[in-house]
Amino acid sequence: MFRVLTIAGSDSGGGAGIEADIKTISALGGYACTAITAVTAQNTLGVFGVHPLPAAFVRLSIETVLGDIGADAIKLGMLANEEIICGVAACLPAGVPMVLDPVMVATSGAVLLPDGAIRALSERLLSIAAIVTPNLPEAAKLTGLPVDTEAEQVAAGRALLAMGARAALIKGGHGTAEVLSDYLVTPEGVEKISMPRIRTTSTHGTGCTLASAIATGLAQGMALSEAVHRARRYLQEAIRTAPGFGGGHGPVNHLVVEKCFT
């Protein structure tokens, strides 16, 4: 069993963050360890409170896990503030593949990362992650470029590589087309990954889920492209079979088994 350390916030509604990560990693056959950066009060209707944990405690959590259990991959999610980002960056191990999901705004629209923290994320984490996985608004925020068309998705991915990223997956889920396209941009080229849009409000935590699924694939020794493709198939089936909880943006079905989407 391969180990995945997820460093992210806790979602009291269970659809995103640490809770989504643990379920995703477990569903795909990994062993999840955690370092919680913040606790949140949220449900499908929105985020009603965010309480970041002390940066020193977040760092202690990471060092405690890595010093004993270890990790075959690391997923970075909501990092809450600049102090936590700098503390996390200071204790991440070399040689372990990391997936950076630059969580900035919740599905409900709540801002989860202030501007100073976004700069710290770009400067301290972008270059050490194996891949960064922004959605369209996050890609625009990171690069300062418009990201409204598929050509602009590719341009944003290339801009992130120019900023130091090793690879970028520019996710198209915020677009309006009936076929949604993600673009995997690496120094070797560009790969388009398309899926039919599923008309649903069950989209809470999709970014967390995808990033954790990619991290699990990397932990299991998959090549980056293979890990991304499996993660995308898993997420599509998780959305398709979502339980329909809540009156807003509900969670996906993290417990979908692999035989359903391979």
- Give the DSSP H/E element, type plus range, for residue 89: helix 82-91
The answer to whether 37 touches 80, Cβ cutoff 8 Å, is yes
Q: How many angstroms separate the CA atoms of 174 and 28, rounded?
A: 25
**Is 49 a residue of the active site?**
no
**Is 207 a residue of the active site?**
yes
**Is 217 a residue of the active site?**
no
Catalytic-role residue among 203, 209, 217, 250: 203
Q: Which two tokens stand for residue 101?
A: 């999901």
**Is 143 a residue of the active site?**
no
**Is 171 a residue of the active site?**
yes
Catalytic-role residue among 77, 175, 207, 250: 207
Q: How far is C-alpha 55 from the chain's CA centre?
A: 20
Catalytic-role residue among 9, 13, 205, 250: 205
Catalytic-role residue among 107, 133, 171, 175: 171
The two beta strands, 73-76 and 2-11, are parallel
* Torsion on CA atoms 106, 109, 115, 119, rounded to nearest 10: 40
Catalytic-role residue among 77, 87, 208, 217: 208
Catalytic-role residue among 24, 143, 206, 216: 206
**Is 203 a residue of the active site?**
yes
Q: Is 63 left (phi over 0), alpha (psi -120 to 50) or beta?
A: alpha
- Catalogue the active-site residues: 171, 203, 205-208
